[in-house]
Amino acid sequence: MNNIDFEADDDLFNLDDIDSLFGEGYGLLGLRHHDDVLAADLTGFGFGDNGGGDGDAGTARRSSNTNATNNDDGSPKLVVSKPNGTRIYRSSRAGETVGIKLLNQNIDHQQAGENLSQMNFNLSLNELLEHEETISKLLPPEVNKRQVIEVGFFNGTPALYFKWENGITCEEWLDKVRSQQQTQSTQQEAKLTVRLRAAVSIAKTLTQFHQSRVVYNSLSLDNIVLTPFEGNYLATFIDLSDAVICSDEQTFDDRKGVDLMNLGIVLNQLFRTDGGGEDATFANAGRREGGGELTSSSRRVSTNSGGDVPSNIGNLRKRGKQLTPGDGLPLYLRAMVSTLIGAGGQENASQMRYESANAVFEDLSVMATQATNSSDRRNNFFKQIEVDHEVVLHSRLKFPKDFFYGRQVQMSMLMHQLQSATMLGDQPLMALIAGYPGTGKSTLVNQIKKPLADKNGFLIEGKFDKMSARPDEVLASALDSFFANISVFEAGENAYMSMRWRISDIGPGVSCLYDSIPSLEKFMDVGTVVDRPERRMMADDLLDQRLKYMYCKLISAISCRSQPLVLVLDDLQWADKMTLSVIRMLMTDPDIHHFLLLGCYRENEVNESHMLSTNLNDIREQGINVMTIKVGAIERESANALISDTMCLPPNLCRPLSNAVHRKTGGVIMFILRLLASLNEEGLIWYSINLRQWMFDLQKIERKEMSEDVVKHMTEHMSRLPVQIQLGLKLCACLGPTFEAMILEKARKNADIGDDFLSSCVEDGYLLTEGGSSYKWSHDQVQQAAYELIPLQKREKIHLLIGSRLLLGLPSSEMDRFIFHVADNMNKGANLLDNLEQKHEVAELNLRAGEKLLQHQSYHSAVKYLMAGISLLGDNSWEVNYHLSLRLYDAASEALYVVADYSTLAALAEKPLRYAQCFEDKLITYSNLVRAMSSSGKTDECINTCVSVLSELGEPIPTTINQQIYFEEVAKVQEALIGRSRQDLLSLPVMTDINKLTAMRFLNHMLLVTYASNPALNPIVVFRMVRLTVAYGVCNIAAIAFSCYGAWLASGLNEDYGAAFTMGRVASDLMTKMGSVEMLPRVHAVVYGMINIYKEPWQASLCKHSEAFDAGLHNGDMEYAFSNIAFYHTLALFGCGSNLLESNQSLHKHIQRGLQYKQEGMVKTMTVLKQMTYDLMGIKKNAYDNHFGGLNEDTVIELTLQKKLTAYTRMMYQKIKYVKYMCGDMDAAAKHYDLKEELYANCAGQATIGRTALVLIASFIDGLIGLYFARKHRDDEAKWTSVAETSIALVSKWAKSCSWNFANKLSLLEAEYFFLKDDERAYSCYKASIKQAREHKFNHEEGLAHEKLATYLLHKNRHDEALQHFQNAKKCYAIWHATFLVQRVDKAIAVLSPLCGGSR
């Protein structure tokens, strides 16, 4: 047909029908913006109603006007005339275009043989046509084939009538495509993409034939008509004369091979972009013996009567490179074509084959789908024309980078969490990815990198390692790497500076992170060395708490709406206690937003008792939802896709291999990769240079026996590597999860591991390079497999050898940098040391490593090294190496205290306390020991030990306190302070006496313990601290001493508020002078919680408590931080009348923060306050539910009584009494007054230092309750009158000290007292209380005074005035947000209003 002149106005090339099928700009493959594809595929193609569609195979002569349906005289139009005499007419019949096929009765059978099989030559012409009719009607309607109408006669000749098929033959289409693409220089990708859809449609139609057990037998380009349909093609097979109906599956299986081979030939022709060379080769190869050159219709294979493929096709494989099928095609297509045609001889015969046309259709569909998606990773595999030189030279598989297969459900869950964190971000989110080793947990996590980058987010990654001795450095290392690598270019200048500003807002406390995160200091561009004196003065336990807090603040500063943050921590099953604690704090931090934490762990190594499970349960108990994503083995199809991409083979061709691999590996992705690599190295998977594709020996692979354990399998594989490589792997395994090339050089010394060892290990996938000379293992199981190469009995020896080489080979300037490599290896080989001097040398290495970790605040890791060092000392170390022993024990006791391993600390303390040469050398151990006793609840032991130490220091403390001793101590301290003004105390010199400084520290240890468990001894401790300060000078602890002394002065025993206030100012000023920032939370708690409440407006103390709370968090003093915030809320609610709704919200936030830092005592205190806000707002909620296991308030009180939590019970009584009084339930208020008094009477030895604002408010409310019941004139009138008079006396005294806080309270008590006495002065006192409360901003007490005045006026029958004051009370309560009180007063207003003249 190439000789036909195509007219532009010919309907054969009319594009009107095309435009109706394909919208404007919509290419054949559904690709917008691919103009070259569209032009190549559509321009000039007459896919209209044309005469070129449905003709039989063979070179044909066409009429010059094939558009006409009939001749001018109305007779059918001849459109095709073939050399064999077959003619095709086109005519109109009943309004439809039909075709008429005629066979020449006189044609020589041999000449017509290209269309008629040997069997069919024996049939009559009529039978031949009827056979074609039978085939057509047997095939289901949905099959794209020539639709035969009937067999009849045309001009007396047997004729086949069929529906005319629109479209053009595939041969015509291909010629036009080639011509168009050559003129437009279309890219190779576009050329293949255009043809893929046609190939898919051809394979689909052949599949339809085969599904009906019909073998087509004559598949060729000119027997296929292509018609565009909905962005795809329909491929119709037109000549059915050679088709064979198979009676059973066996017959069909025997005969289908010819169709598959012809399909390969068609695909080879279809995808060749040059249009020459190979096509002609196959045409020549398809000659029949004795025949001339065949036309294009001969480029197929027909079977003989037995269904066998002619032998001359097999010879195509023996005629040189020119005959190689698939030349120039992508590897994927080349493998498909060569397999279908049968190229490769015995090399391919037992390896790969297509069992069905449907398999070819599936593989082409995969390629077509991926090829249309330019962003799809797999698209690159389909474009690949040749493998690289390295693959050909070494026949080495190269696995896809960043491969990811299957996991759609898991990926959806992960993306949901990411979307929630980035878009909503109202709270931290957490997802755990759990699975067995090597299942691809980390690979799943890697899939979020691109979507996170698209959202301008940041990713921080850390990984724990089983063989690492320093897990508590993982988080710091991850953050250090993040800040080291972030740049203005990467983050953008605005984002970069914005992050720096947010981190700066944390305050100077962030500098405590600089030791463990050096790159953070560079990122902040500090410029000068930051002096951190507060670190040296802080206790180590405070440093640990501060470090955790600062991690939370840093994460909070990094993440924001415009820059969400994802923190990935891998292998959490090996995480340390400190990091897990930080994770818990991060997830419960109310200030962290737009943050997602992803944790991976091995579920087979984590049970319910595992430390990770315990921490996760703690997180869940605090109401945090933790999503768990299970990752198991990948499915067979996913494994097949991986292998298909790796080997550039169509999926169905490598399915036998992937099934075998999946079965042997259980679908564990890492196992799959390692097995493929080992099969490749063993020659069972190889690259065929002849076929230019990957091959495999399935039978040998199936027979191969292998371990089910991936580590064991990798070890077996590594054991077959060259000896030099094995030695290098062993050395690297001993160096840990990461190492530098220089360390490996020192470790190997003169051993031969090959010049290119590291690069080859990277290439083989054992190691990953981290840039420069740093390396890490690609997976911890790879490292474990390499380590298993070392026989168990030789491991200690090789570790000792490596450690010794490093110790001797590293210059002293580098030793600190690589101290952990040295110490780790020496420790693992230490059992082989028999020389005490060598052991002590290794012990000193451990001391250096431990001290370095203490400096970096990695306390858990420090414990491991320090305890390892101690284990090497020997029994007589205190004699032969005293200083080393002392340093190790002192450092270890500090680290053990911080990590709360009190039992080990107690056992460890025995030796230094026994063998230390002087008392001074015991002090560090004593200090850590008494703190451990205090923290573990051993208060008596703690006090006794402190008393013993103080006695040794020349400061004996009496342990049994009677009245005489008490007053003697009072007299001594008062004598020490006589004549000393505030300025005199501030001018005291700095304490320099070491013994007295030490005594102050131990007195400070006793201070809190005695306050809680020995109240009588507590003031004695305070007095001694004050006397030592006056006598020997000030230190940072002196501020605490003066503040506690001030609280004692203000207590009920003294009530010297002026002197107390002076001492409070001394404490605050002294703290500032000494720069004792770590003391601020403690000093403020006492000064503003117990002293200044008698002298300064309560509102002024709120900001001081808030300041102390922040300082405590920054300094790590969590106990006093939350004591201050509890003081804040108590004072705000009871004293200042802060808005209840805002207080409720603030309490919720601080309760969450308290849970974050495990401050359970203060959490329970704030829970009581939160319940108070619910009660006054009239909200029926149980605040105790989350923190007391669902108990109600009454049950909680019973619980506190059983556990003898006196202070907590007392607070609950005070709160209930206050609420009941304010809500008008006077009987309940009186009941809880009695309960509180009974509790006081039953609790002997109450603390004599300090009263809080709650006690003062409680006394005020006691007076109001007493006056209410005294007015009832019942039998208990005298009792209640006495209660009222006592309250009035106390409040009167307080009012003289601070009118602001107490004047309105005293006026209200006096008004109620005058009401009791029926004294007219009551009215003026009520009015004074209202005025004072309003002026002093006590809105809640203004409302109470209005209500009490209204009650008084009702008693006087002054209804109109009473109504007005009830309305004023309602307004005040509404401002307070006390909805319950508003509703109660509303009821009174409703009753009173009708009694008033015109009042509402």
pLDDT tens digit sequence for 485-535: 887 666 677 888 888 899 988 887 788 888 889 999 888 875 544 444 444
Residue 385 has pLDDT above 80, yes or no: no
pLDDT bracket for residue 111 (50, 70, 90): very low
Residues 679 and 700: their CA atoms lie apart, in Å, by: 10
pLDDT at residue 213 in the model = 92
Report d(CA 1250, CA 1044) in Å as an integer: 8
Pairing mode, if any, of strands 595-602 and 429-435? parallel
Q: Is 230 exposed, middle or buried (0-12, 13-18, 19+ CB in 10 A)?
A: exposed
Dihedral of CA 1180/1183/1185/1188: which sign? negative
The answer to whether the beta carbons of residues 1196 and 1183 sit under 8 Å apart is: no
So what's the pLDDT on residue 15? 28
Strands 595-602 and 565-570: what pairing?
Answer: parallel
1039: three-class secondary structure by DSSP: helix
Radius of gyration of the chain (CA): 46
Find residue 102's DSSP bridge partners.
Answer: 87, 159
For 984-1027, write each residue's pLDDT tens digit: 999 999 999 999 999 999 999 998 888 877 888 999 999 999 99
Model confidence at 692: pLDDT above 60: yes
What pLDDT band is residue 176 in, cutting at 50, 70 and 90? confident
Quick check: 1355 and 1393 in contact, CB under 8 A? Answer: no
CB within 8 A of 890, min separation 6: which ones?
912, 924, 925
Task: Give this prediction's pTM.
Answer: 0.74
Q: Which of 159-163, 313-317, 1127-1131, 1282-1286 has the lowest mean pLDDT?
A: 313-317
Closest to 1087 measured CA to CA, from 1129, 1019, 1126, 1041: 1041
Residue 1247 has a pLDDT of 44
Cα 346 to Cα 403: distance, rounded to the nearest angstrom: 33
% the chain with pLDDT above 70: 84
Instruction: Determine which of 719-733, 895-909, 1196-1210 has the lowest per-residue pLDDT on average.
Output: 1196-1210
What is the arithmetic mean of pLDDT over 1225-1249?
77
Q: What is the mean pLDDT of residues 255-265?
A: 92
Q: Which of 614-628, 1136-1150, 1162-1176, 1281-1295 bottoms out in mean pLDDT, i.e. has the lowest?
A: 614-628
Strand, coil or helix: 567: strand
At residue 399, the pLDDT reads: 80
CA distance 436 to 502: 39
CA angle 833/837/839 to nearest 5° reads: 40
Q: Provide the pLDDT for residue 1375.
A: 95
Q: At CA 869, angle to CA 866 and CA 870, rounded to 5?
A: 90
Q: Per-residue confidence at 37, pLDDT binned at 50, 70, 90?
A: very low
Residues ≥6 apart with Cβ < 8 Å to 1350: 1361, 1362, 1363, 1364, 1365, 1366, 1369, 1388
| pLDDT at residue 1060 greater than cutoff 80 | yes
Other Cβ atoms within 10 Å of 1001 Cβ, number: 20
d(CA 619, CA 588): 7
Contact in structure between 1329 and 1311 (CB atoms under 8 Å): yes
Separation of alpha carbons 110 and 116, rounded Å: 9
Please state, in angstroms and rounded to a whole number, the distance separating the CA atoms of residues 1119 and 933: 17
Angle CA 224–227–232, to nearest 5: 110
Instruction: Give the model's confidence band at 756: pLDDT under 50 very low, under 70 low, under 90 confident, else very high.
Output: confident
Kindly state the greatest CA–CA separation across the chain: 145
Count of C-beta atoms within a 10 Å radius of residue 1187: 20
Q: CA-CA distances (angstroms) from residue 1122 to 587, 1099, 1116, 1160, 1214?
A: 19, 19, 11, 10, 20
Amino acid at 124: S
- The average confidence (pLDDT) of the chain is 83
- pLDDT of 491: 66
Q: Is 989 exposed, middle or buried (0-12, 13-18, 19+ CB in 10 A)?
A: exposed
User: In this model, does residue 1259 exceed pLDDT 80?
Assistant: yes
CA distance 466 to 447: 25
Residue 190 has pLDDT above 90, yes or no: no
Output the pLDDT for position 717. 83
Q: What DSSP string describes 960-1021?
A: S--HHHHHHHHHHHHHHHTT--HHHHHTPPBP--HHHHHHHHHHHHHHHHHHHH-TTTHHHH
Task: Please give, one letter per residue, the 3-state secondary structure of 168-209.
Answer: EEHHHHHHHHHHHHHHHCCCHHHHHHHHHHHHHHHHHHHHHH
* pLDDT for 361: 94
| Separation of alpha carbons 573 and 933, rounded Å | 31
Q: How far apart are CA 1394 and CA 1397, in angstroms?
A: 8
Residue 886 pLDDT more than 60? yes
What is the DSSP secondary structure assignment for residue 1096, as one 8-state letter?
A: S
What is the number of other CB atoms lying within 10 angstroms of the CB of residue 1128? 27
- Among residues 596, 628, 599, which one has the least CA distance to residue 421? 596
* Among 1331, 1392, 1344, residue whose Cα is nearest residue 1371: 1344
Phi-psi region of 663 (alpha: psi -120 to 50; beta: other; left: phi over 0): alpha
Compute the distance between CA of residue 1181 and CA of residue 1060 in angstroms, rounded to an integer.
41
What average pLDDT does this structure show over 920-928? 93
What b/e sequence results for 199-209 when a residue is b if at least 16 CB atoms lie within 10 Å of its CB, and e otherwise? Answer: bbbbbbbbbbb
Q: How confident is the model at residue 805 (pLDDT cuts 50, 70, 90)?
A: very high
